[in-house]
Amino acid sequence: MLKLEIVTPEKRVLDAEVDSVIVPTASGEAGILPNHAPLISALKPGVLSYTTKGSTEKLAISGGFVEVNSDKVAVLADTAESGADIDVDAAKAEREAAEKALAAAGGSIEESEVYRDQLATANVRIQLAGGK
């Protein structure tokens, strides 16, 4: 078993014993099982999933960090929401605003990255909520 803790600046989202975790790291998805090697990685916007007793749950996260050490997985995320918690209309409005901002960003690479992350986060939220 793994101890999974997911924390955002607002609250502790989850503190549970789980069988496995899949996190969206900056270099791709990482599957974590008991006895995993120590790991620290940045997270990108995506879906974090965890399995407990054959049941899989998913959360939309918008970035942050993951640390794995001694069968403990600590996720420090900017945001973490289940599909039921996501307001699809608000996420679609965020996606539209990010698309417009990205189109208007021009040459700044740093500014474009911020808008790409906002767009990716909105898309993940819509996908997880089933809003396509």
If one looks up domain 2-83 in CATH, what number appears?
Answer: 2.60.15.10
Q: How far apart are CA 34 and CA 75, in angstroms?
A: 16
Per-residue confidence (pLDDT) for residue 103, from 0 to 100? 83
Per-residue confidence (pLDDT) for residue 102, from 0 to 100? 82
For 64-94, how does the pLDDT look when each residue is reduced to its tens digit (9 = 90+)? 999 999 999 999 999 999 888 888 888 899 9
For 84-127, how does the pLDDT look when each residue is reduced to its tens digit (9 = 90+)? 888 888 889 998 998 888 888 766 777 788 888 888 888 888 88
Helix axes 109-129, 88-104, angle to 10 degrees: 160
Strand 80-82 and strand 28-32: the pairing is unpaired
Per-residue confidence (pLDDT) for residue 131, from 0 to 100? 59
Of 35-39, 49-53, 87-91, the one with minimum mean pLDDT is 87-91
Closest CA to 24 of 124, 132, 131, 130: 124
3-state secondary structure of 74: strand
Q: Where are the domains of the chain?
A: 2-83, 87-129
Per-residue confidence (pLDDT) for residue 68, from 0 to 100? 96
Q: How far apart are CA 90 and CA 1, in angstroms?
A: 36
